[in-house]
Amino acid sequence: MKINLYSDTQSIPTEAMREAIARAPVGDEQKGTDPTVTNLLERVTSLLGKEAAIFLPTGTMCNAVAVATHCGRGDGLIAEANAHIMRYEAGGMASISGVLPKVIHGQDGQFSAADVLAHHDEGSRYTPRTTLLAVEQTCNLAGGTVWSVAALDEVAQQAKELGMKTHMDGARLFNAAVSTGVAAAEHCREYDSVWVDFTKGMGAPMGSVLCGSSEFIERAWHWKHRLGGALRQGGMMAAGCLYALDHYQDQLAQDHANARLFNEGLKNITHIKVRHAETQSNIVYFSLTGVKCTPSRFVELLAERGLKVGFVGDGLRAVTYNGITSDQINIALKLVREVASSLEAIN
């Protein structure tokens, strides 16, 4: 049996989602006349408590469009060192928007108002103006950690006092909402822009929605078009996102329970060390200790037995999503135990 815990991006549309996609009423997305996209935008706008929204093919494009819309060339952007926007977006902020990254080395992907203050530059004849704060909810490379709403408010309020704009990469914001029991709109209430991804644990094949003020979204359209993200019958894809919105609560709760089960099991395996005693959402990070084996080799050995995990950032990563059952998690634990016990120990 093959078990794929590499990423929640490996989720594939269910039969029911495929049916919803096949039956979607469609129009011309870039003219604003695709009824299914319009429906999705209205749903997300209200769920996130913002004025307006725009449909984009990927989360990476949401970040690129948001940065381009908020910032001028040569402006500084504050984000955490392991944020996706820093590490995995091909330098988009620099190459597309000419923006200077101002990097905070935080804890678990998070930081404080004092960190924001310390990394801010007002701008002068000599210094670049820091104009945007970007946070990630949940923090992917930190292990799916969840910011508290109080901490999110605090850093955003500090940024606003400094005259900056605030942006939330909410690729897994719905995971955070399910994990905390606090509505998504509360998490992003202090943020000028926020987006959600439907292709991670939400299980849709394509689509993200970026939200903000009507004025911001109007300017974002210019960048969507410029980057080639304006669509035609986008409703086919929006239908998958709408289907996900109607069904995500129980699914994500199950994903979180499966991640917890995996993390608990790993704690009892010799030579395995989990990064967090308690998982907070659907991501588990772990490492090897006391053995002569590199993480990459360990990933290969597991793959040979039918278990796919990632070596992502600086650790071994397993992510749960809608294709994964608790039975598979138990088998995965058995495979990790078998491989770990076969490794040569360092004395």
Ligand X SMILES: *Cc1c(COP(=O)(O)O)cnc(C)c1O
- Cα–Cα distance measured from residue 84 to residue 82, given in angstroms and rounded to the nearest whole number: 6
* Segment 225 to 264, residues that bind ligand X, using CB under 6 A: none
Least distance from ligand X to the Cβ atom of residue 61, Å:
7
Write the DSSP string, 126-137: SSPPEEEEEEES
DSSP designation for 291 = B
Nearest to ligand X of 59, 315 (CB atom) = 59
Binding map of ligand X across residues 77-116, x = CB under 6 A, - = no contact: -------x--------------------------------
Point out which span in 56-64, 177-185, 232-240, 261-269 binds ligand X (CB under 6 A). 56-64
**CA–CA dist 214, 50 (Å, integer):** 9
Q: How far is the CB of 270 from ligand X (least distance, A)?
A: 31
Residue pair 68/236 in contact by the 8 Å Cβ criterion: no
Give the nearer residue to ligand X in terms of CB position, either 57 or 235: 57
Contact residue for ligand X among 184, 197, 324, 332 (CB under 6 A):
197
Percent composition of the chain: helix, strand, coil (DSSP 3-state, to 5)? 45, 20, 35
**Running DSSP on this structure, what letter comes out for residue 31?**
G
Q: Which of 65, 79, 134, 171 binds ligand X (CB under 6 A)?
A: 171
180 scored as a contact of ligand X (CB under 6 A)? no
Could you tell me the smallest distance in angstroms from the CB atom of residue 190 to ligand X?
19
Closest approach of ligand X to the CB of residue 185, in Å: 19
| Site for ligand X contains 208 (CB under 6 A) | yes
Beta-sheet pairing, 272-274 with 100-104? unpaired
Phi, psi of 159 (to 5 degrees): -60, -45
Cα 29 from chain centre: 25
Alpha-carbon gap, residue 182 to 175, rounded angstroms: 11
Cβ-closest position to ligand X:
59
Which residues are near ligand X by CB under 6 A?
A: 58-60, 84, 136, 140, 169, 171, 197, 199, 208
